[in-house]
Amino acid sequence: MVHRQEWKIIADIMAILIDIFNLAEQLSIYFISKENDFDESAQQRFFFILFAVGGASVFKPLLVHPILFVLFGISIEIGELVSYLKLLSNTTSLLVVAILFFTFEVIFHLISLIGLLREEKDYFKDFAKNCCTLPGRVFLYGLLFETQILFLFLDSQSSFRQTFYEVLMILATFFGLSAIDKGAKRCCLMNEDEDEKSLYTVWEAILALLSAIEAPIFVITAVVYASQALQHKEQLKTYDFVIYIIIIITYGSALLSLALTILCALCLCAGTCVKALVDCFFQK
């Protein structure tokens, strides 16, 4: 007989697999579409699907009952599948990959439902907390991804419309979604230590670490690409020129703040080490 704690672990494993398969699906669909003459319009539609799926996921925590939570998750998967098949070039490879990932994700959702139903939770309390964090989640989602939407309307020959940066956008969306809930809880002054430690919290910590690695790469790449493009500003469209200036100001400021933060941290560490050495020397 499987105990409640073991079912909780199974539910967490299924949730982790859903996350992994979602990312793998998005990357697979992207590269398949790239091989099939991924024109400017198709690129824009793909990322609009991506952002729409992420936007729907922001509201998912409001459905605190396991059955509603899983049904809403499956609904998102169905919407994503239909969008891929209707809005992108409907090739055999895309059809097979999209349906295959969809099938596995639905199976994972249904298995996780069994574990979630065995949890004992105060649904009203969870709903109240999630309602409190909803404005924060919506605001953070818009803040994180509004600039990415602007990139989709840059010239098709722009470095921002090439494979490397678009893959960074997919990863930034995936990692960003995992950070939104934590950020919203901090905005509402909620204590995360009260949450039950689980396998999924370990997964969230791994995602946070990967996000911390990917985010500086994303920002530095944007600043470098914008700086290179502005060297030929006479060839740029007005829209592209304005976006590049905004990138230099916003992302450049973020990089400067990060550099100053690291510098201050290093100074504090150096001061602590020097003080420790001085104290050790005088004690002798």
Cβ-based burial of 195 (10 A; exposed 0-12, middle 13-18, buried ≥19): exposed
Each residue's pLDDT tens digit, 73-89: 999 999 999 999 988 87
- Cα separation, 59 vs 131, whole angstroms: 9
Q: Report the Cα 87 to chain-centroid distance in Å.
A: 22
Percent of the chain predicted with pLDDT > 90: 21
CA proximity to 190, closest of 141, 122, 133, 135? 133
End-to-end CA distance of the chain: 64
CA proximity to 88, closest of 175, 29, 164? 29
CA proximity to 82, closest of 94, 67, 66, 68? 94
Confidence (pLDDT) at 192: 53
Q: What 3-state DSSP class applies to 271?
A: helix
- The whole-model pTM stands at 0.83
Mean pLDDT for the chain?
A: 82
Q: How confident is the model at residue 1 (pLDDT cuts 50, 70, 90)?
A: very low
Each residue's pLDDT tens digit, 228-277: 988 888 888 889 999 999 889 988 888 888 788 888 877 877 777 766 66
**Which of 26-30, 67-71, 88-92, 218-222 is least confident?**
88-92
Where exactly are the structural domains of the chain? 1-120
Confidence (pLDDT) at 105: 94
Confidence (pLDDT) at 195: 47
Q: What is the mean pLDDT of residues 8-14?
A: 86
Residue bearing the bigger pLDDT, 205 or 79: 79
Each residue's pLDDT tens digit, 135-185: 878 887 877 776 678 888 888 888 888 889 989 989 988 888 877 777 666
